[in-house]
Structure 1
């Protein structure tokens, strides 16, 4: 599992304000079951159709922390990439995401603080109807 020469992401001096990353994810049953199994989260709002039908959501929704996981994974893999570390997150979950929904995520570098080695990454996510699902900012320190 440990690799001596793995690729690292961008260093602080290689990151430019305005850089963007777009990704699209569809939330499948296997993803939900893995999350729920790993966390032992049995919230009926996430898995029980009968319960969810009697709520304002009308159907089971995706746990917000799963959506957060997609964002943090994108930061770890791509922007700034391997070796980076999240320092702070401020995310607003504006609408629920539903099972089998396809979500478009955009991560954009909004600021680079060279002195403190912090990159502000703006986050936006939209459903297939172009309705906002998530917005916020993640502060990241890139790899050394």
Structure 2
């Protein structure tokens, strides 16, 4: 386990990543946890007649890997999520390997608040999610 970063150690320009290959199990597990059983995500026959022609991962499943980076790597444990926005740019399909990246772009020392650019890319380095997060580091 890596040493927890202190607020003072975090600098503008710092980055961290998390990668994961999306499986059929991940999508069903996410549907079960959230109750989002949209057939676009879980029904092969339904998905064949959609714009994407096959099942796609939930957008928030993909976006949730940003939370993994923020909570586990940068700023890491003992940080509190204050806000997040997402723009979903492309679908994530079963078998895609996604890489969530965060970059520190601003720090507010009086409240120990950090603003980060948050992005997710697929294995072809196509951006599939773009956003911004604000966290507080205790």
TM-score of the superposed pair, with normalisation by structure 2: 0.91
Moved more, 64-73 or 132-141: 64-73
2-structure distance, mates of 1:59, 1:13:
46
Moved more, 20-29 or 87-96: 20-29
Gap runs ≥5 in structure 2:
none
Structure 2 match to 1:78:
73
Shift of 1:114: 0.7
Structure 1 stretches of 4+ with a deviation exceeding 4 A read none
Structure 1 match to 2:11:
16
1:86–1:139 contact (8 Å) kept in structure 2: yes
Structure 1 match to 2:101:
106
Other structure's SS at 2:70 match: helix
1:12–1:112 contact (8 Å) kept in structure 2: no
Structure 1 match to 2:37:
42
**Pairwise CA RMSD of aligned residues?**
1.8
Matches within 5 A, 1:1-144: 9-142=4-137, 144=138
Moved more, 23-32 or 58-67: 23-32
Other structure's SS at 2:118 match: strand
TM-score of the superposed pair, with normalisation by structure 1: 0.88
2-structure distance, mates of 1:132, 1:65:
15
